[in-house]
């Protein structure tokens, strides 16, 4: 039987979460609930849970404050968050599970199933350090992204990503140190994440970091030449927007 605790400063939210866990999961026991950081730390130390449902913003601090008081973290965290675009981007960059308030039962069940499977396997809980960094800054230089492959988890500074290239439903990441990482997610997902941080999708199959742009070649339909010598096509429908983007660099 896996142990789960709920930490949220809203009584109704705790009760909704508890009822849903009991309704959908016979192999998980809710061993306790807390209404803040200090009480939550005590609860975790007392019960040593496998899974923690954790609110981000509470009256006596944040979920990050609680995590920092519980290190090393040996439990799987599912964050609870009110809808807020900055928070959502931080979660997506960090590849950590979250559910939004008001609680959607389907989203909760999906997130807990993933944590349950991880807790029943040899997978270690993921670090929340990247999430904390991304949540607390919009600075491109400090921004990180978590990339998962079949056998590894990478926490990369986005400034080290030179470009991304699509291959059907996969995305190749090309890094400044020459490394290449293949991720089983489509390019569109990373275009949505990175476009606000100096990345430009020049073509259906290509997303580039403008920090590595060197020159624009007008011949043969137009190409972006990067500092490493790579030649990236610029589609005709992207040409005007791209020229405008490099004009303000």
> What CATH number does the domain containing 186 carry?
2.40.50.1020
Same domain, yes or no: 55 and 158: no
Query: Which of residues 135, 153, 184 is at a domain's end?
Result: 135
Same domain, yes or no: 13 and 50: yes
Predicted pLDDT of residue 223: 96
Same domain, yes or no: 154 and 202: yes
Same domain, yes or no: 62 and 118: yes
Same domain, yes or no: 125 and 146: no
Same domain, yes or no: 40 and 85: yes
Domain residues for the domain of 237 are 139-247
Same domain, yes or no: 11 and 130: yes
- Could you identify the residue written with the tokens 């079949």? 150
| Collapsed DSSP state (helix, strand, coil) of residue 142 | coil
Same domain, yes or no: 34 and 80: yes
Count structural domains, the chain.
2
Task: Assign residue 192 a region (left: φ > 0; alpha: ψ between -120 and 50; beta: otherwise).
Answer: alpha
Same domain, yes or no: 16 and 117: yes
Same domain, yes or no: 104 and 182: no
pLDDT in tens, 74-118: 999 999 988 677 788 888 898 888 998 889 999 999 999 999 988
Q: What is the CATH number of the domain that holds 75?
A: 3.40.50.2300
- Could you identify the residue written with the tokens 């979920």? 63
- Could you identify the residue written with the tokens 């610029």? 234
Same domain, yes or no: 88 and 203: no
Yes or no: say if 163 and 174 are a contact pair by the CB < 8 Å rule. yes
Same domain, yes or no: 10 and 99: yes
Query: Which of residues 85, 116, 135 is at a domain's end?
Result: 135
pLDDT in tens, 12-33: 999 999 999 999 999 999 999 9
Predicted pLDDT of residue 123: 67
Percentage, residues of the chain above pLDDT 90 = 73
**Considering the entire predicted model, what is its pTM?**
0.80
End-to-end CA distance of the chain: 56
Query: Which of residues 135, 152, 171 is at a domain's end?
Result: 135
């Amino acid at each position: 039987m896996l142990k789960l605790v709920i930490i949220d400063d809203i009584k109704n939210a705790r009760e909704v979460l508890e009822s849903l866990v009991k309704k959908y999961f016979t192999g998980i026991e809710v061993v306790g609930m807390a209404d803040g950081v200090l009480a939550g730390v005590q609860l975790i130390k007392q019960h040593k849970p496998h899974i923690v449902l954790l609110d981000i913003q509470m009256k006596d601090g944040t979920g990050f404050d609680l995590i920092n008081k519980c290190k090393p973290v040996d439990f799987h965290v599912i964050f609870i968050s009110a809808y807020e675009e900055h928070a959502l981007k931080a979660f997506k960059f960090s590849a950590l599970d979250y559910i939004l308030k008001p609680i959607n039962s389907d989203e909760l069940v999906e997130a807990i199933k993933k944590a349950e499977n991880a807790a029943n396997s040899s997978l270690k809980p993921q670090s929340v350090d990247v999430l904390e960094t991304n949540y607390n800054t919009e600075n491109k230089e400090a921004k990180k992204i978590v990339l998962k492959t079949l056998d590894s988890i990478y926490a990369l500074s986005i400034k080290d990503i030179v470009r991304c290239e699509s291959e059907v439903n996969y995305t190749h990441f090309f890094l400044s140190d020459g490394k290449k990482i293949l991720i089983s997610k489509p390019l569109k997902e990373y275009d949505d994440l990175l476009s606000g941080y100096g990345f430009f999708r020049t073509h259906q199959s290509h997303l580039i970091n403008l920090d590595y742009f060197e020159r624009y070649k007008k011949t043969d339909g137009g190409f972006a030449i990067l500092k490493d010598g790579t030649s990236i096509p610029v589609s005709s429908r992207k040409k005007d927007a791209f020229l405008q983007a490099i004009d303000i660099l």
